[in-house]
Amino acid sequence: MQVRVGSVRGRVIQVVILAAVLGGCAPSAEGGAGASGSPSAERAGDKGAAAASGGTIGASGSACELPVSFDIAKGWKAKGIDAEKELSGASKGSDGDVTGGFADAFLRQGPVTTACEIDAKPAGKIGFLRVWTGKPGDADTRTVLRQFVAAEDNTSKVKYRSFRTATGVSGVEVEYLYTSKLLEESKKESALAVSTPDGPVVLHLGGLDTEEHTAMLPAYELAKRTLRIR
């Protein structure tokens, strides 16, 4: 899914396939809050490689204008998404109920909507780092992340933990297994949530399978490590 690729209606089949293959997130058992380190950071370290920066997004004039800024991995390609515009266009189509339903499921998850999609394919990997944003409110980051996870089915081994980056940003991170009913396979997923004056921001890393997800973790860790509130 990308911002400037035409109507949502023309992407219904693509949405279904991507949703099944690249999957989402959702709740099951959870762990308690932890220290500033993360399992994903440890796994990324086990891979023995840190992602090289390919530039920063989030600021005005960048590929995605967001309430936060962070570095994306070299070779990854970012595109902004106007979720509200996409949802509005889908609801006005001749099959608005069907297309709008798919669009809502793909562009909205819990209290947040898709704002940016960072594609790993140009770097030779299969998956996305997606940024979701919400409106200002009273919910804390843990609640937002739980609601984000709760908006999807078929997850297990969900573990939450707190983190704090060297840039001084605090938030909550979650890791879990997502099981595709269509493929009957499980794969690892990661996401984090932070609060900003403009509302919550969620970063989610998917992938074709666990192997691809693990290979992309350095890019996720780069984004978290360089994350700043604008």
pLDDT tens for 152-197 read 878 889 999 999 999 899 999 999 998 888 877 899 999 999 999 9
Q: Which position has the token pair 């192997």? A: 211
* Cβ proximity of 223 and 71 under 8 Å: yes
All domains in the chain, ordered by first residue: 23-81+110-229 (3.40.1000.10)
Give the lowest-confidence range in 71-75, 86-90, 96-100, 105-109: 96-100
User: Measured between alpha carbons, how far is residue 157 from residues 128, 168, 177, 217 in Å?
Assistant: 22, 29, 6, 18
pTM here is 0.76
Question: What span, in angstroms and rounded, lies between the C-alpha atoms of 178 and 162?
Answer: 21
**Contact between residue 176 and residue 149 where contact means Cβ atoms under 8 Å apart:** yes
Classify strands 155-164 and 170-180 as parallel, antiparallel or unpaired.
Answer: antiparallel
Rounded CA gap, 117 and 206, in Å?
Answer: 11
DSSP letter (8 states) at residue 51: P
pLDDT digits (tens, 9 = 90+) for 25-43: 333 333 333 333 333 433 4
